[in-house]
Amino acid sequence: MTDRTIRQNGLKFATARRFEFDYAETEKNMAVKVIIPTPLRVYAAKKDSAEVSAQTVGEALGGLTVQFAELRKHLFTDDGKLRSFVNVYLNDEDIRYMAKEATPVKDGDVVSIVPSIAGGNAVPPNRRAQG
């Protein structure tokens, strides 16, 4: 095909060459499942996971925030860094001990988001009711 715009059913499509280029780019990305933790599901249409296309863990998280924009502020700082209280695992391996957000992913990998949760008992042990 030529390098021209294609019109079909009133819609304007990119040129055939551009389409082939974009298709080739998406072939490099892998289908990755991102597990969304319960506290963040309210910002992700109550979904427990999402499929994204990515080459790295960072791209997978970015793809997730494209699908669910409200998640961005809970995962990333204003300057785009992963928040310190957000732990991310690739197939049960902590990415902090790998290449962090640059950790490559392959087709079928699972990225898990695990937010740190603070808590505990505010009552000292010696003041608890004896039962």
3-class secondary-structure state, position 32: strand
**Is a pLDDT exceeding 90 seen at residue 119?**
no
Residue 11 lies in a domain: no
Residue 19 lies in a domain: no
Quick: pLDDT tens for 19-76: 333 434 445 677 999 999 999 999 999 999 999 999 999 999 999 999 999 999 999 9
Structural domains of the chain, count: 1
Q: Which helix (H) or strand (E) holds 52?
A: strand 49-54
Question: Domain of 76: which CATH number?
Answer: 3.10.20.30
Residue 23 lies in a domain: no
Residue 49 lies in a domain: yes
91: tokens are: 């197939």
Residue 128 lies in a domain: no
Residue 55 lies in a domain: yes
Quick: pLDDT tens for 100-112: 999 999 999 999 9
Residue 2 lies in a domain: no
Question: Comparing C-alpha atoms, which of 31, 3, 30 is closest to residue 18?
Answer: 3
pTM, full prediction: 0.69
Residue 6 lies in a domain: no
48: domain range?
30-115
